[in-house]
Amino acid sequence: MSSTIFTRAFDRRVRTLLTVLGISVVVGGAFGTHTLWQANMEQGYSPAQPLAFNHAIMAGTHKIECTYCHTQALKGPHAGIPTVADCMKCHKEIQTKDGEGHLKEGLAQLNEYWRAKTPIPWVKVHDLADFVYFDHSRHLQPHTGLQCADCHGDVAKMDRVTRVNSLKMGWCLDCHMQAPQKNTPEGWTTRAPIHCTTCHR
Amino acid sequence: MSSNDATPNDPTGYAEGAPAGADAMHQGLAVLGRSEVPIHDDHVDAPSASEMTRRTAMKMLSLTAMVGMVSGCVRKPERRIIAMHDRPEYQQPGMPLYYASTWLEGAHPYGLLVKQIDGRPIKLEGLQGHPLNPGGKSTGPMQASLYSLYDPERLRSPKQGGADVSWSAADKAVVGALKGAQRVLLVTRSTLGPAEKALVARFRKAVPGALHMHYEPAQDRVRREVWKQVYGAPGEVTTSLENAKVILSIDSDFLGTDGDVLGNTRGFSATRDPNGEVFSRLYVAESGMTGTGTSADHRIPLRPSAAKEFVVGLAMALGGDSKTLSASAGRFGWDPKVLEALVKDLNANRGAAAVLAGPHLPAFVHSAVASLNATLGAAGKTLGWNPTPAAAIATDPAELLQALNAGPDVAIFLGVNPMHDFPGAGFADALGKAKFTVAQGLTEDETLAAAEIALPSAHALESWNDAAVSPGVKGLAQPMIAPLFGGRQIGDSLLAWTKALATGDDALAKTKDFHAWLKSAWGLGQTAWEGALRKGYVGSAAKTTLPAPKGAGFPEPADPVEGGYDVVLALHPNTGDGRWQGNAWLLETPETCNKVVWDNVAAMAPSTASALGVEEGDWIKVTVGEASVELPVLPQPGVQKNTIVTHVGYGRTKGAGHGNGVGVNVAALGVGLLAAKVVKASGDKYLISRTQHVFDQDYSHTDTPVKRHIALSGTPKEYAEYKAQPPRPDPSTLDPTDGTLSFPDTQKHKIPLTQIDEAVDYSKGAKWGLAIDLGQCTGCNACMLACQTENNIVIDGKEEVAKGRDMSWIRIDRYEAGPEDNPEILLQPMLCQHCDNAPCETVCPVNATTHSPEGLNEQVYNRCVGTRYCNNNCPYKVRRFNFFNYTGKQTTSPVQELRANPHVTVRTRGVMEKCTFCIQRINAAKFAVPDRGERLKDGAVTTACQQACPADAIVFGDANIKGGKIDRARKSDLAYHVLEEINVRPNVTYAARIRNVHPDLDHPVKGGH
Amino acid sequence: MTPPEETEVVGGVSGPQATLQKIDDDIAAPFESFPTTRWLAAFTVAKIGAAIFGISFVYTIAVGIGSWGNNNPVGWGFAITNFVFWIGIGHAGTLISAILYLLRQKWRTSIARFAEAMTIFAVIVALQFPMVHTGRPWLAAYWLLPLPNANGIWVNFRSPLLWDVFAVSTYALVSLMFWYTGLIPDLAAARDRATHRVRKLVYGILSLGWKGSNRAWQHYEKAYLLFAGLSTPLVLSVHSVVSFDFATSVIPGWHTTIFPPYFVAGAIFSGFAMVATLIIIMRKYFKLQHIITIDHLDVMNRIVLVTSLMVGYAYMMELFIAWYSGVAFERFAFMNRAFGSYGWAYAIMVTCNVILPQLLWFKKIRRTIKYMYPIVIAVNIGMWFERFVIIMALHRDFLPSSWHDFTPTIVDYGLLVGSFGLFLTLLLLFCRFLPTVAVAEAKAVAPGAQPTGGHHA
Amino acid sequence: MHDQDRKVVGMIGLFDEPNALIAAAEKVRDAGYTKWDCHTPYPLHGLDDAMGLKPSPMPYITLTAGLIGGCLGMYMMYWMSAVDYPVRIGGKPYFSWPAFVPITFEAFVLFAGLATMGGMIKLTKLGRWASPLHDNDVMVEVTTTRLGVVLEAEDPKFTQEAAQALLDETGCQDIRVLYAPEDEASEDEASEDDDAATEHGEV
């Protein structure tokens, strides 16, 4: 007699479908948000570099100060990447060979750049948007109490430099929003500014 | 910044490595071309090539150039840091270096301080302490020089017969033609430096038949000839207007285009404080409307062909016989009361008066003015004498035409463009008679295109040079960057040819290039040379006095023709004689008085226009002798009746980039002042693009004016009455930052301004404020161009401006009042007022515009979504919206990206922008000292507009410094805020202008004017 | 379109043929039968309009807002005019369904569903304009909401534009729920009438399994009443908030406290005019004259007349207050409104909104379709121009130096014309697939449908 | 299969006249039935009383949700503008509450509206499509023109005969037995997950 489509089985099917849909929307949304959350996308970026340079050896094993090579960090907005000539100031003499008597890979590459008189096209790891004006020297004033590693991570342990912090604005604000505190022996109390033109102009 | 901050340029860097430097540049460009970051619509692009370095050093390629590379990554595109191979001395990434130099593009070699970041010159300023512009001031064209440096239109290779050739091939061809040539014609600008002049002399020695001519398309040759005769030497009259109490200008735009405008403005503005020791009075009798006429206390519309009657009558009146003057006044419609006051003033201020006459007036007038000045005792007081001016007296164009018609073997044109701007007819034909033509210039302009050999010039900022700054002072110009397009400076061309021709001159043969020539000509030791480079000039100004004029007979010019028309072919306040016609910044900057951009128009009195039966945009035909041109009409109040004023240099067809096809070339008519026939011409309505349309601040739809009280002015008598008023009953009802009653309209400020919330406390740190003195502003546009350069402001073209979308962050509003034939003018520079109760901030839905704790109204481009609500709600309409991707549209070549100031974000489509009070400069000043919570000193920050303003009309600083510049400006009894009654609490304070009306004519004017 | 001639005079729902079955059949006829050529023709025209809208929209986004006539003083032009216009149109629906429901106006039954649908479509159309008017809608959609983000920045809750975001989205959502709630019993009826399996399935799913149970009717009726109660302050708030865009600014001609009531009255005015414009055609072509009677149109015309007087009063009042304030800028703004560059628009506005509707004082005009139709059309035009006139206050505000006129471009016209196309497309689809009159409600007020008190079988 | 082989889930009496239905409802109510319902194509005045239904709790749901929404809205604005990232705007305080009123109101309405919709769906048990009325093809009657009284077999007082008698007593001319669907008969017995079918008032 009845040919209705609205049977109990229909009800169950619709309900199952809705449940599955609901769960996938929630799970998918959470997964998508987590994946596309910009801070998460920025963290952990570790591109291959054109030259096999190893911070773990330089800053780790040999304990060379960061500013020995990144000379401008205390003086200006950009920390500065050493020029090939800067590298060669030491590496003219230091030409370490591996067990088989070959030059180490990075050194061989460096020599090649030096001979060709071309710069090294490093890949930017800590890359801020162009509309952000970050100044290294301002952040490395004594009273801030900041160390390079606070933002860049413990580079002295990194074979290849990895971005450990998102460097997104929310991350910046985490520090800038902190209450004033005494940071130096002289007892300066400062509070980092949080208004827009601090970083954008 | 003083010149002491300037770091000496390494003189050997470019000089020794010029070709390699150029190569490096080309490589750099190649990198740049590859790295060109496309202008994304959804991102705000910072200068993509921000850290390219250009200067010096063959080893260097570039420094921290961020190369956007396409990568398949979901992340942002991979970007590169190209560290330098080796770092040049002094260079710090992202930190500016300053170099002293000299600006050689005008007739007066002003000192120049070039700001260079990562090897790119990105901003030009006046050089503090320089003899010609000691305040470090600059003109608009000076500021805009950067545009032509990075102009992609520039010629990139020498050409022979239209085909690219190498420099050596081109030189070979030139030298080959010069060898054995009987008649050689060398045409240069009149502003050769001493070293170049010496080189020209050597060239003429090597080429015996060579004739050297100084060509200037719209020069003051006539005036200079008169001075030569009456003062006995080919010198130049200089001014010391700071000593003047009464100044009379007869059609001389001495604050805008005529003579040493920075010096004139500095001297004039020094006497314009109504509370100062001297408050000078300026009388201007002029034909058109100029910035000088705008600044006048009394302005007399003058038919330029009646200048003779004016001067003669005035001379006789000063001698006690005023009959001739009154007769002329009756005849030409001059206000007899003003003339009476003028004569009284001049008589009363002998020894403190000066008369200046415009360059286009006839010789007779100039000689009469010379004797008038002698009568007034101007010599040694208000007027001086420079026996060795930077500009030589230009050659009569007729001589040039004659020499060409004689069929020279070789004609060489260096840095001139007579094919376009030769006054009068016949140049093209005459040029055809030259057997071999050589032309050198920045771009392939009309002359270069017509020449057999066309050579690219290096820009003045890529060249070594020197200049006769003033008696006893020599200026030095040093290259700021290796030639971007492989150009060569004119001196190097001359040197190369002379070396090839002057056989047997060992010393010359050993001179490697013009740099070496210059260095040997200066003859300084290395330390002294570096000192000179560091300073930008050597020597100190010697005192010279204006000689007594000798009577010289000049023919009396013809009387004005009844019913005829005078045509004045004037210099444009921005593009001058047309030499900056390829400079789109200058083309888009509005003309001071009629606010026209991208055009030269026939400005005429509205009554003349109606007599001719024409309206704005109609065409007239102007006929002088055989020649005639058609011009679009602009009725402009204040222009003398039966006089057409237009500007020279327009109508370029080649090599001007955006300037090609802009305006009408009027050179065919002649030069200066001409008598013409004018009739209405047919033609479609022409779109005249103006940045301002309504000039009446009391504009109303009825007979009753709407009193808006935006730009305020008054007379001394009104000011005295105002000062005598009792203090306001309850000052506490007003904003404490305001402090005073506004002058002269006290009525509106009786409204108590209250606020429901407690006002934000700004007393802790700095509170930035700006003050503008309307009495000082001459409308020279230097602030606009300084702002444009500093803040990466785009140009968007004539059509966009016509739609009401001009992009300037600072504009100069102009208000006219009174009779149409001679209105009173008020100028008001208008920029973001940084209101404490900013209405724009409240309405932004995304917090893209906010307030800083230091009182700045901040605009964050990368947060802006572009609702335009902020600009709607801005009472001052100072916000500018990127309706299109203007940055992308104006950037026709990646080389232009080098021009951008890397410290200011480049804006893209859909983003609102506005004045930031040069936040990058504020931050730089803060970062220059340790962050110990100390207050910056007063004057530690200068905004770009303030730094450029030749009249010092703009002051910027921390209002919280008691007794500081801003504090003083705000406490002035002339200070007021525009639209104070809407309680937005602006941080820009204006000082009302006092017109120093002669006491006999001073009567309280009803209303705000 | 010319107004259809009124051929049969039907006494209203109380007509003798109006049994429940007849109501069902008549209302269901349009969506149960194959589309007529008329419908197809109308739909084609509407689709072309919608295509114009789509092209203009995409072009704007591709090129930039520069393709419009907007400039620096006039930051808002046609787009915001259209936005306010369509939001205003949307008000009649909620007003009819909510306020008249609360006031127990039974005549609303015949037009409520259609008016509600119109509300939703008008709001959909209106929402396009704030999206497109930034030129970068992807940012506008994402940044205008207070969503957590890695940049740690929030929106500005002080901005009337953000109030708009909340008000309009709440309004859209609540209107949609209200409309859908009303549709549920009718969808159930459609489900049970349907013969085709797919139709049955679709209507069945959409009806959420409505069974006409009185235990459901009890909560349903209460919920419907609550929706009406919520919608009433909401509808008043939405246009008040839209008016705050202008009223809270400092611009002379905008900075006016009368704006909220004035805008609400204007919205009802334009909404009713639009309902009348469309329903006159609909009742003719779907032969619903006995359900949507001339009496209903008469009542609507009276409301148009009343609201016309309200906006007329507002026009006079703002002129008076401008004069009375003594503020030079305010006085000028209103002088300029009447005599400035856009004086012609002001003249159209006053003529269409105040002068022409006065004809509705005459009963004959109120009850004759060929007379009333031009009037309601004129009101639609006039109310568009009212918003245009208000926004054009921007072209001459404080400083004469920055005054500049606004000249619309072809893209501006494309968006304006296209918005009607989009609206009609949605409306025609609605007519095609859903009951245009609230069936259950119509049945409930049919003669003999309710128990007579005291009667016992 | 014959009807008598199938499980009876209830009985429906169909009326054409509202007064008759009201009277019938009163009779069923007075007879002490608990699991029964009336089905009408439109809301019938007085039927709630006739059936003896308690007032709907909808208003409390709406009000509570609205108040929660309003408070959340204001708190969100306070937290975002004054706590998490205070930004100075137009010289106003960080917590400029007058400007937050419109959105507070909108949040009230939004939450209230959503809760009303949700509450209505829950209370009216929407989202359940299956019904013996569908199975026995009587749904179309009660959603278009006719009025029905349904007595459920779940009711303790229900027997086919008693129900028939009660409906006869109301003067009903069209009384039909509602059978369980044939293919689902057995399944229906054990359908514990389908609690809806056994719930009060659900048919």
Residue of D41, D99, D203 lying closest to C20 (CB–CB)? D41
Q: How far apart are CA D3 and CA B914, in angstroms?
A: 84
Domain range spanning residue A91? 82-121
Mean of pLDDT values over B819-826: 90
Which positions in chain D touch C212 (Cβ < 8 Å)?
39-41, 142-143
The predicted pLDDT at position B19 comes to 28
Closest-CA distance, D89 to chain B, in angstroms, reads: 5
Identify which of C384, C343, C391 has the alpha carbon closest to the alpha carbon of residue C133: C391
**Is A132 among the domain residues?**
yes
Find, in chain C, the residue whose alpha carbon is nearest to that of B872: C75
| pLDDT reading at B387 higher than 80 | yes
Q: Distance between CA atoms of B360 and B356, rounded to whole angstroms?
A: 12
Q: Residue B5: pLDDT above 70?
A: no
Cβ atoms of residues C161 and C129 within 8 Å: no
Domains within chain D, CATH numbers bracketed? 3-55+128-198 (3.30.70), 58-123 (no CATH)
- Provide, rounded to the nearest whole percent, the portion of chain C with pLDDT above 70: 95
- A86 domain-assigned: yes
State the pLDDT at residue B194.
Answer: 92
- Bridge partners (DSSP) listed for residue A17: none
The reported pLDDT for the residue numbered C309 is: 94
Q: What is the mean pLDDT of residues B765-780?
A: 92
b/e map of B147-185 (b: 16 or more CB within 10 Å)? bbbbbebbbbbbbbeeeebebeebbebbeebbeebebbb
Ordered domains of chain B (ranges, CATH): 236-386 (3.40.228.10), 565-681 (2.40.40.20), 713-1001 (3.30.70.20)
Per the CB < 8 A criterion, the answer to whether C399 and B813 are in contact is: yes
* pLDDT surpassing 50 at residue B740: no
Mean pLDDT for each consecutive 10-residue tract of chain A (201 residues)? 74 91 94 82 86 89 90 88 89 82 86 89 88 90 84 90 90 83 62 88 86
List of chains touching B (3+ CB pairs within 8 A): A, C, D
pLDDT at residue number D195 = 42
Q: H or E stretch including B568?
A: strand B565-570
pLDDT beyond 90 at B1003: no
Q: Which of B836, B850, B985 sits opposite D87 (nearest CB)?
A: B850
Q: Which helix (H) or strand (E) holds C199?
A: helix C197-206
D129, D182, D196 member nearest A14 (Cβ)? D129
Q: Tokens representing B322? A: 């005023």
In this prediction, residues C381-404 reach a mean pLDDT of 93
Q: How far apart are CA B357 and CA B258, in angstroms?
A: 9
- Taking the C-alpha atoms of residue D28 and residue D36, their distance in angstroms, rounded to an integer, is 8
pLDDT of residue C17: 34
Interface test with B, best of C161, C250, C331, C397 (most B CBs within 10 A): C250
Q: What is the pLDDT of residues C114-161, one digit of tens each?
A: 888 888 999 999 999 988 988 888 887 778 889 888 888 999 999 999
Question: How close is the nearest chain B Cα to the Cα of D64, in Å?
Answer: 30
Note whether residue A45 is domain-resident.
Answer: no
Residue C241 has a pLDDT of 93
Cross-chain residue pair A168–C209, CB shorter than 8 Å: no
For D11, the enclosing helix (H) or strand (E) is strand D8-15
Predicted local distance difference test score (pLDDT) of residue B930 = 77
- A183 and A131 in a single domain? The answer is yes
Residue B353, judged by CB atoms within 10 A of its CB (0-12, 13-18, 19+), counts as: buried
* A137 and A185 part of one domain: yes
Average pLDDT rounded to a whole number, residues B769-789 = 93
Band of residue B728 on the pLDDT scale cut at 50, 70, 90: low
**Would you state the pLDDT for residue A75?**
87
Say if residues B643 and B571 touch (Cβ distance below 8 Å).
no
- pLDDT band at residue D2, thresholds of 50, 70 and 90? low
Nearest CA of chain C to the CA of A37: how many Å?
7
Question: What does the alpha-carbon distance between residue C156 and residue C145 come to, in Å, rounded to a whole number?
Answer: 10
Confidence of residue B601 (pLDDT cuts 50, 70, 90): very high
Look at strands B713-714 and B993-994 and give their pairing: parallel
> Does residue A159 belong to any structural domain of this protein?
yes
**For residues B445 and B419, is the Cβ–Cβ distance under 8 A?**
yes
Residue B267 binned pLDDT confidence (cut-offs 50, 70, 90): very high
Give the end of a domain, one of A73, A91, A121. A121
Q: Is residue A134 included in any domain, yes or no?
A: yes
pLDDT of residue A175: 86
How much helix, strand and coil, in percent to the nearest 5, is found in chain C?
75, 0, 25
Q: Given D19, D119, D125, which is nearest C457 (Cβ)?
A: D19
Whether D116 shows a pLDDT value over 80: the answer reads yes
**What contacts B310, CB < 8 A, 6 or more positions away?**
B250, B285, B302, B328, B332, B334
Same domain, A107 and A182: no
According to the model, what pLDDT value does residue A186 have?
62
A44 belongs to a structural domain:
no
> Which residue would you say has higher pLDDT here, C11 or C69?
C69
Mean pLDDT confidence for B166-173: 92
Residue scoring higher pLDDT (D145 or B448): B448
End-to-end CA distance of chain C: 53
Which chain B residue lies closest to A49 (C-alpha atoms)?
A: B80
User: For residue B781, what are its two tokens?
Assistant: 């546009």
- Please provide the average confidence, as pLDDT, over all residues in chain B: 84
For residues B54 and B31, what is the distance between their CA atoms, to the nearest angstrom?
12
- Domain shared by A88 and A71, yes or no: no
Q: Cα-flanking dihedrals φ and ψ of residue B811, to 5°?
A: -130, 160
Q: How confident is the model at residue B75 (pLDDT cuts 50, 70, 90)?
A: low
Chain A 30-59, residues with CB within 8 Å of chain B CB atoms: 41-42, 45, 47
pLDDT tens digit sequence for B637-681: 999 999 999 999 999 999 888 899 999 999 999 888 888 999 999
Alpha helices in B80-137 (DSSP H): none
* Rounded CA separation A20/A9 (Å): 16
- The residue among A35, A169, A175 with the most chain C CBs within 10 A of its CB, best to mutate, is A169
Given A91, A121, A151, the domain boundary residue is A121
- Say if the Cβ atoms of A85 and B87 lie within 8 Å: yes
d(CA C175, CA A170): 37
Distance from CA of D92 to the nearest CA of B (A): 7
The secondary structure element, H or E, covering residue A190 is strand A189-190
**Tens digit of each residue's pLDDT (9 = 90 or more) over B887-938:** 888 888 888 888 999 999 999 899 999 999 999 999 999 888 877 767 888 9
- Report pLDDT for A2: 52
pLDDT at C357 over 70: yes
According to the model, what pLDDT value does residue D76 have? 95
- With CB atoms and an 8 Å threshold, state whether C135 touches B982: no
In a shared domain, residues A69 and A168: yes
Position with higher pLDDT, B115 vs B550: B115
Which residues in chain C touch residue D59, judged by CB atoms under 8 angstroms apart?
222, 226
- Indicate whether B434 pLDDT > 50: yes
What's the mean per-residue pLDDT of chain C? 86
The DSSP-derived string for B278-346 is -B-EEEEEESS--HHHHH-SEEEE--GGGHHHHHHHHHHHHTT--HHHHHHHHHHT--HHHHHHHHHHH
Q: Identify residue B810 by its one-letter amino acid code.
A: I
Distance CA B857, CA C251 (A): 19
| Mean pLDDT, residues B37-58 taken together | 31
Residues of D in contact with A2 (CB under 8 A): 134-137, 181
**Same-domain pairing of A155 and A65:** yes
- The C-alpha atoms of residue B175 and residue B197 are separated, in whole angstroms, by 20
- First CA to last CA distance, chain D: 23
Q: What share of chain B in percent tops pLDDT 70?
A: 89
What the block records as the tokens of A67 is 């500013």
Chain A contacts of C201, Cβ < 8 Å? Answer: 5
Rounded-to-integer distance, Cα A74 and Cα A148, Å: 11
Distance CA B436, CA B431 (A): 9
Let me know whether A168 and A189 are in one domain: yes
B362 pLDDT above the threshold of 50: yes
B839 interface with C at CB cutoff 8 Å = yes
Task: Indicate if A186 and A136 belong to the same structural domain.
Answer: yes
Interface test with D, best of B735, B737, B754, B757 (most D CBs within 10 A): B757
pTM of this structure: 0.89
Q: Are residues A158 and A191 in the same domain?
A: yes
Fill in the amino acid letter for B451. Answer: A
ipTM, interface predicted TM-score of the complex: 0.89
Contact flag C222-D56 (C-beta cutoff 8 Å): yes
pLDDT at D80 over 90: yes
pLDDT at A188: 60
CA distances (Å), D119 to each of A93, B690, B697, C222, in order? 81, 63, 62, 11
Number of structural domains (chain A) is: 3
Q: Is residue A162 part of a domain?
A: yes
Residue B356 pairs in a beta bridge with B249
Average pLDDT over residues B490-511: 87
Q: Which of A95-109, D2-16, D43-57 has the lowest mean pLDDT?
A: D2-16
- Regarding whether A106 and A67 lie in a shared domain, the answer is no
The residue in chain B having the minimum alpha-carbon distance to the alpha carbon of residue D97 is B757
CA distance D123 to C440: 20
Q: Are residues A75 and A138 in the same domain?
A: yes
For the ranges B95-109, B498-512, C123-137, the lowest mean pLDDT is seen at B498-512
Q: What is the pLDDT of residue B158?
A: 94
Pair D35, D158: CB distance under 8 Å: yes
pLDDT mean over C343-366: 93
pLDDT of C242: 92
Together in a domain, A20 and A87: no
CA dihedral D91, D94, D97, D99 (to 10 degrees): 50
What is the percent of chain D where pLDDT is above 70?
87
